Amino acid sequence: MNAGRAWIPLLLVLAATAGCGDSPDARQPLTKLSITGSSTMAPLIAAIGKRFERRHPGVRIDVQTGGSSRGVADTRSGLAHIGMVSRALRALEQRDLVGTPVARDGIGLIVHNTNPVGALTPRQVVALYTGGMTTWRPVSGKDASVVVVNKAEGRATLELFLKYFHLTNAEIRADVIIGDNEQGIKFVAGNPHAIGYVSNGAAEYALRHEVPIKRLPLTTASAPPAAGHPAPSPLARPLTLVTTRRPPALAQAFIAFAASSHVHDLVAAHYFVPLAA
C-alpha cells in the first residue's frame, strides 16, 4: 500500500501542470502548427509537414485526422490552425473560412477484376445505386446480385458522388457502408459482385500492386473512353487546406509551401494529382 500512497504527490503534480499544454491561441511566438481533418489528406500533409520542418528548424507540424467535417469544425473552434478538407468549401463555410487547394483527387468506380462489365453510363450507375438494377445481367454482366458499396455520411467522396449523380443519400440502396478508401478497395477485391467508388489515387496504387480490382470508366454519349486509358475523371475534388480569415503567419507560410511546386513529388508519391504550376 506504500506504493499506492506514492502516487498521490504525482497526481497533484499532474493536476497542477494540467494547464500547461500548448493550445492554438497561446499568446507566444507560434512554433507548433496544429492541423486536423480529412483522413485522405493526412498522410500527404504529414509528409509535407516533415519537409517543412526540415526547412524551418524549431517549427513543428502536428497533423491529426478525423474527417473533413472535423477539419472545418476544429478550424472554427480554434483547436486547429489549419483544417484539411478533401472537397471545395461550401458557400456557407466560405463566409468565415478561407480555402487553398493543394492537390486534386479523382473518384472512380471500381469492381472486382473478374467482373465482365466494361463501362457504365451515369444512368446505369444511378440505377445500380438506387435499386433500379439489382443484378449485373442488364449491363451484360453475370446473373448475380449486385453488392452496392457506399461511403459513410460525412465523407467528402460521398458528397461528391451524390452531387455528380444528382442523388440524395436517402435514395441510395447500399448493401455495405464503408469509411475509408482502403476499406472500399479491400471489400471490392474480396467480393466478385461488388461495386464501389474510391479515390483514384488509392485505386491506382492497388492496381499497380496486383489487387484484384478494376476501374470502371464512365461513358457519356459525347466521349466514349479510349481503350486502356480511362478518361480523366469528371468526378474530381480539390484537396483543400482551410484557415480562419486571419491565420497566423506560420500557417500562411505552410499553406504557401504545401501549394508550391516544392512538394509536387510528395503529392505524386501519395497518388494524388499536383495542381498545375
**Beta partners for residue 106, in sequence order:** 236
Under 8 Å between Cβ of 103 and 275: yes
What contacts 148, CB < 8 A, 6 or more positions away? 128, 129, 172, 173, 174, 175, 176, 194, 195
Q: Is residue 64 near another protein by the rule CB under 8 A? A: yes
Q: Is residue 47 near another protein by the rule CB under 8 A? A: yes
Taking the complex as a whole, how short is the minimal distance between the CB of residue 155 and another protein, in angstroms? 13
Rounded CA-CA distance 266/277 in Å is 14
Taking the complex as a whole, how short is the minimal distance between the CB of residue 189 and another protein, in angstroms? 12
20/91 with CB nearer another protein: 20
81/193 with CB nearer another protein: 81
Which amino acid type is present at position 92? L
- Using DSSP's 3-state secondary structure scheme, residue 13 falls into helix
Which amino acid type is present at position 172? I
Spatial CA neighbour of 118 closest among 131, 109, 130, 128: 109
Taking the complex as a whole, how short is the minimal distance between the CB of residue 142 and another protein, in angstroms? 28
Question: Applying CB under 8 A, which of residues 131, 138, 179, 224 lies at the interface with another protein?
Answer: 179
Q: Which of residues 186-205 bind another protein (CB under 8 A)?
A: 201-202, 204-205
Spatial CA neighbour of 110 closest among 237, 219, 212, 222: 212
Q: Is residue 277 near another protein by the rule CB under 8 A? A: no
Q: Is residue 42 near another protein by the rule CB under 8 A? A: yes
- The DSSP annotation for 92-146 comes to TGGGTEEEEEEEEEEEEEEEETT-----B-HHHHHHHHHTS--BSGGGT--SSB-
Which amino acid type is present at position 127? A
Taking the complex as a whole, how short is the minimal distance between the CB of residue 86 and another protein, in angstroms? 12
Q: Is residue 182 near another protein by the rule CB under 8 A? A: yes
Question: Applying CB under 8 A, which of residues 8, 91, 276, 277 lies at the interface with another protein?
Answer: 8
Q: Is residue 16 near another protein by the rule CB under 8 A? A: no
Taking the complex as a whole, how short is the minimal distance between the CB of residue 106 and another protein, in angstroms? 14
3/277 with CB nearer another protein: 3
Residues forming contacts to another protein in the complex (CB under 8 A) are 1, 4, 7-8, 10-11, 14, 18-24, 34, 39-40, 42-44, 46-47, 60, 62-66, 77, 79, 179-183, 201-202, 204-206, 209, 269-271
